[in-house]
């Protein structure tokens, strides 16, 4: 395994996040490879870490001042052995090949866990939507789609949103795809309700992360009612995580953005959450403004130079990291444990560094890794694809019930796989093994392609 990791490192120099994601999966599936020698013989691991295709392209556009701007666009088509590539677009200045390859790699196993027929992919750009006008966002999205349209399609690759890509961006991207292809198809998910979108899609990732936490607690005969919860981020995932937690009787005391976080000891209730949604989704303001409206809360700016994130240093029972990768490091994980947190359900992708993950697993916490806990979003995207193919729309209740059932079955698949391999309660191993086995079997059946 050490040789394998070394080879991946040599072939992908400097791709820190990608290597981190590969190392975790490789470590988890070692016993599966020992039990199934044909996986080694057919070089499943060596093949699974190599994207089937990676596209990188120029995205030129003109800003409101008439200046030409150039960004870089990407699409990583990682694995299509169980269905068309599926995974979001991320627009954020930090986007690079390593981050998108880690996200695409995680997506392969996550999508396999959902039980729906979806392969894995991810894409995006280093474009920063912050501070840009609607017109600039539209021109950027149109330029991005004018290249990527030839690589995607409803039976080939179906992108969705992620950081920096919400309903507005999906609208502009879809409009351009439709114009270029002269075809109205379900090529993107996260569409508006009136033009092919699914009810519950915006809510799905956050709701799913809460359902997953509820399942982990139920296995111990507990519920979320009365639990104090730390939530990071204040975007799509954080907002709907908070909404569902409030509904289930939990108290959410934090929300954040990349500049800082708010701590509201009294709890963020429905009215306060409504204010946050309006602040972030319509006015596109900063979370700091929360304390102007609710002065009983405090705002703490985040210093990038400090080794810990103080958001994770409050008394609580549950944590829902919902911002970005590696937002909980080993020291933050220690702080969470010290403060009594014993449920962690990851809305974000890979938000915990490997030393933090080890600490959670060693302490036998109820730790739901992102590829299981945040799979609700892509699951409802899969349901959106089904509704588009059938040309009908399911009700809110129907989609929510299906989401709940999928999250239950993901929880079951994780616990089952962990028990089979002698690690009961280890959701990291469980999720990696359950996702990997499904993809590996499909790859074996389809030959060396």
Q: Which residue in the set 374, 415, 426, 432 belongs to the binding site for ligand NDP (CB under 6 A)?
A: 374
| Using rule CB under 6 A, residue 137 touches ligand NDP | no
Shortest Cβ 116–ligand NDP spacing (Å): 14
| Using rule CB under 6 A, residue 51 touches ligand NDP | no
Query: Quick one: 197 or 425, whose CB is closer to ligand NDP?
Result: 197
Question: Which sequence positions are flagged as catalytic?
Answer: 122
Query: Quick one: 79 or 381, whose CB is closer to ligand NDP?
Result: 381
Rounded to whole angstroms, what are the CA distances from 17 to 48, 97, 182, 299?
Answer: 16, 10, 38, 30
Q: How far is CA 49 from the centre of its chain?
A: 19
| Using rule CB under 6 A, residue 111 touches ligand NDP | no
Alpha-helical runs (H) found in 94-151: 97-113, 134-148
Q: Which residue in the set 157, 162, 264, 332 belongs to the binding site for ligand NDP (CB under 6 A)?
A: 162
Part in contact with ligand NDP (CB under 6 A); list of ranges 59-67, 158-166, 269-277, 289-297: 158-166
Q: Degrees (nearest 5) of the Cα angle 209, 30, 88?
A: 35
CB 322 within 8 A of CB 206: yes
Compute how many other C-beta atoms are within 10 angstroms of the C-beta atom of residue 70: 10
DSSP calls for 197-216: --TTHHHHHHHHHHHHHHHH
The CA distance from 245 to 230, in Å, is: 11
Query: Which H or E run includes 77?
Result: strand 68-79
Q: Which residue in the set 171, 347, 356, 369 belongs to the binding site for ligand NDP (CB under 6 A)?
A: 347
Shortest Cβ 425–ligand NDP spacing (Å): 24
Q: Which two tokens stand for residue 274?
A: 């409504």
* Near ligand NDP in 164-223, by CB under 6 A: 164, 166, 205
Part in contact with ligand NDP (CB under 6 A); list of ranges 33-41, 222-230, 233-241, 408-416: 233-241
Q: Which residue in the set 83, 84, 159, 161 belongs to the binding site for ligand NDP (CB under 6 A)?
A: 161
Q: How far is CA 230 from the centre of its chain?
A: 18
Residue window 21-40: x/- pattern of binding to ligand NDP, with contact defined by CB under 6 A: --------------------
Residue window 310-339: x/- pattern of binding to ligand NDP, with contact defined by CB under 6 A: ------------xxx---------------
Of 58, 57, 105, nearest to 77 by C-alpha is: 105
DSSP calls for 183-251: -----SSS--GGGT--TTHHHHHHHHHHHHHHHHHHTTT--STT-EEEE---SHHHHHHHHHHHHTT-E
Shortest Cβ 443–ligand NDP spacing (Å): 24
Q: Which residue in the set 80, 98, 114, 236 belongs to the binding site for ligand NDP (CB under 6 A)?
A: 236
Part in contact with ligand NDP (CB under 6 A); list of ranges 11-19, 230-238, 311-319, 408-416: 230-238
Alpha-helical runs (H) found in 294-422: 330-338, 354-362, 370-373, 376-390, 396-420
Q: Which residue in the set 233, 356, 425, 430 belongs to the binding site for ligand NDP (CB under 6 A)?
A: 233
Query: Quick one: 19 or 237, whose CB is closer to ligand NDP?
Result: 237
Count of CA atoms in the C-beta half-sphere (13 A) of 107: 35
Query: Quick one: 121 or 161, whose CB is closer to ligand NDP?
Result: 161
Q: Which two tokens stand for residue 284?
A: 């596109």
The CA distance from 375 to 381, in Å, is: 10
| Using rule CB under 6 A, residue 258 touches ligand NDP | yes
Part in contact with ligand NDP (CB under 6 A); list of ranges 77-85, 160-168, 212-220, 410-418: 160-168
Q: What is the number of the residue whose Cβ is closest to ligand NDP?
A: 235
Total residues interacting with ligand NDP, rule: CB under 6 A: 22
Shortest Cβ 7–ligand NDP spacing (Å): 27
Compute how many other C-beta atoms are within 10 angstroms of the C-beta atom of residue 36: 17
| Using rule CB under 6 A, residue 346 touches ligand NDP | no
Question: What SS3 class is residue 38?
Answer: helix
Q: Which residue in the set 257, 264, 332, 437 belongs to the binding site for ligand NDP (CB under 6 A)?
A: 257
Q: Which residue in the set 349, 379, 388, 426 belongs to the binding site for ligand NDP (CB under 6 A)?
A: 349
Part in contact with ligand NDP (CB under 6 A); list of ranges 12-20, 289-297, 346-354, 409-417: 346-354
- Non-local (6+) Cβ contacts of 219 within 8 A are 411, 415
Of 250, 242, 320, nearest to 276 by C-alpha is: 242
**Sign, Cα dihedral of 359, 361, 364, 369:** positive
| Using rule CB under 6 A, residue 348 touches ligand NDP | yes
Residues within the interface to ligand NDP (CB under 6 A): 94, 161-164, 166, 205, 233-237, 257-258, 322-324, 347-349, 374, 377
């Amino acid at each position: 395994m050490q040789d394998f990791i070394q080879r991946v490192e040599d072939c992908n120099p400097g791709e820190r996040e990608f290597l981190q994601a590969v190392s975790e999966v490789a470590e988890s599936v070692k016993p599966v490879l020992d039990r199934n020698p044909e996986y080694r013989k057919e070089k499943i691991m060596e093949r699974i870490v190599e994207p089937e295709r990676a596209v990188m392209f120029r995205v030129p556009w003109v800003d409101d001042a008439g200046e030409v701007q150039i960004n870089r666009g990407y699409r990583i088509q990682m694995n299509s052995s169980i269905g068309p590539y599926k995974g979001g677009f991320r627009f954020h200045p930090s986007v690079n090949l390593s981050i998108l390859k880690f996200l695409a790699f995680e997506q392969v196993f996550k999508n396999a866990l959902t039980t729906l027929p979806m392969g894995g992919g991810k894409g995006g750009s280093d474009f920063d939507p912050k501070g840009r006008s609607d017109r600039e966002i539209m021109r950027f999205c149109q330029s991005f789609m004018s290249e990527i349209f030839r690589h995607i399609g409803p039976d080939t690759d179906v992108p969705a949103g992620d950081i920096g890509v919400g309903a507005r961006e999906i609208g502009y991207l879809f409009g351009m795809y439709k114009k270029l292809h002269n075809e109205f198809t379900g090529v993107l998910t996260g569409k508006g309700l009136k033009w092919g979108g699914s009810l519950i899609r915006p809510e799905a990732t956050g709701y799913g992360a809460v359902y997953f936490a509820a399942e982990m607690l139920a296995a111990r005969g507990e519920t979320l009612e009365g639990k104090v919860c730390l939530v990071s981020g204040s975007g799509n995932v954080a907002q709907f995580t908070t909404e569902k937690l409030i509904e289930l009787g939990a108290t959410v005391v934090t929300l954040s953005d990349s500049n800082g976080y708010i701590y509201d000891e009294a709890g963020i209730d429905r009215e306060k959450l409504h204010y946050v949604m309006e602040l972030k989704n319509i006015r596109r303001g900063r979370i700091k403004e929360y304390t102007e409206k609710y002065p009983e809360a405090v705002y703490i700016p985040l210093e990038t130079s400090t080794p810990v994130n103080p958001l994770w240093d409050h008394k609580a029972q549950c944590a829902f990291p919902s911002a970005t990768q590696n937002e909980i490091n080993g020291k933050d994980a220690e702080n969470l444990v010290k403060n009594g947190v014993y449920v962690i359900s990851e809305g974000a992708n890979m938000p915990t560094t490997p030393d933090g993950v080890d600490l959670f697993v060693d302490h036998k916490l109820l730790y739901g890794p992102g590829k299981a806990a945040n799979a609700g979003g892509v699951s409802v995207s899969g349901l959106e694809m089904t509704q588009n193919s059938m040309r009908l729309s399911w009700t809110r209740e129907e989609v929510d019930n299906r989401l709940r059932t999928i999250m239950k079955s993901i929880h079951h698949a994780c616990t089952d796989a962990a028990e089979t391999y002698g690690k009961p309660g280890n959701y990291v191993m469980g999720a990696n093994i359950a996702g990997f086995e499904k993809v590996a079997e499909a790859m074996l059946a389809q030959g060396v392609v």
